[in-house]
Structure 1
Amino acid sequence: MEVIVPILVQLIAGGAGGNVIGQLAKQLNLGTAGNSIVGAIGGLAGTWLAGMIPGLDALVGAAAGAAGTAGGLHFGALAGQGATGLVGGGLLTAIAGIIKSAMARA
């Protein structure tokens, strides 16, 4: 259970980030399903990459939420994973939308 919850947070936050970018920038929109799928992948990748950056590793790691634990879940870490998932999902969706737009023009 402790492994599944962070992954779900990253997937959901990434999908939300992808859909937000799709709605804000219509030229980058991949459709609801495309935004959600690409965003979810970006949410996982963004959190993984953030964990490799010094300074951000504590944000997404268990140490960030040591003060607010319940049943082994670190709420600070989950919030950090949600934030990085949201940004990662938005960024990957934007990149995919730019590539899609460029290919449509060619």
Structure 2
Amino acid sequence: MEALLPIIIQIITGVLGGQAVGAVLQQVAMSQLTKIISGAVGGVAGGTALGSLLGGAAGADPATSGALGGLLGNAVGGAGGGAILTGIVGAIMKAMNK
């Protein structure tokens, strides 16, 4: 369970970040499934990248990785990664619709 908790947090916060960007980019015809998938994938990528930069990898023990490298780092990285990837997917879909 300790190895899955950071990934679950990254997915959830990534979806939330993707939904936030999707709400801002309403002019882009993105389906709900597209926002969820891009947010989840971006959340895992962003959370893993930020977690490794701060010293706590995705499966690291939160007790030994510090506060930012632990669950908070996974949450911030997940939200940011989900928002960024959803924004990129939205921009590509908008360009394809022209």
Question: What's the Cα RMSD here?
Answer: 2.2
Gaps of 5+ in 2: none
Q: Give the percent of matched residue pairs that are identical in Structure 1 and Structure 2.
A: 35
1:104 maps to which residue? 97
TM-score by length of 2: 0.82
The answer on whether the counterparts of 2:51 and 2:73 sit within 8 Å (CA) in structure 1 is no
Q: Would you say how many aligned residue pairs link Structure 1 and Structure 2?
A: 93
The answer on whether the counterparts of 2:10 and 2:44 sit within 8 Å (CA) in structure 1 is yes
Distance apart, 1:50 and its partner CA? 2.0
Which AA in structure 2 matches 1:12? Answer: I
2:50 maps to which residue? 50
Distance apart, 1:59 and its partner CA? 6.8
2:66 paired with 1:64: yes
After TM superposition, the structure 1 = structure 2 runs for residues 21-40 of structure 1, keeping only pairs within 5 Å, are 21-28=21-28, 30-40=30-40
The answer on whether the counterparts of 2:50 and 2:73 sit within 8 Å (CA) in structure 1 is no
TM-score by length of 1: 0.76
The structure whose residues are more often helix, as a share, is 1
Which AA in structure 2 matches 1:77? Answer: G
1:3 maps to which residue? 3
The answer on whether the counterparts of 2:14 and 2:78 sit within 8 Å (CA) in structure 1 is yes
Structure-2 change in CA distance of 1:104 and 1:29 (3 Å): closer
Structure-2 change in CA distance of 1:20 and 1:96 (3 Å): same
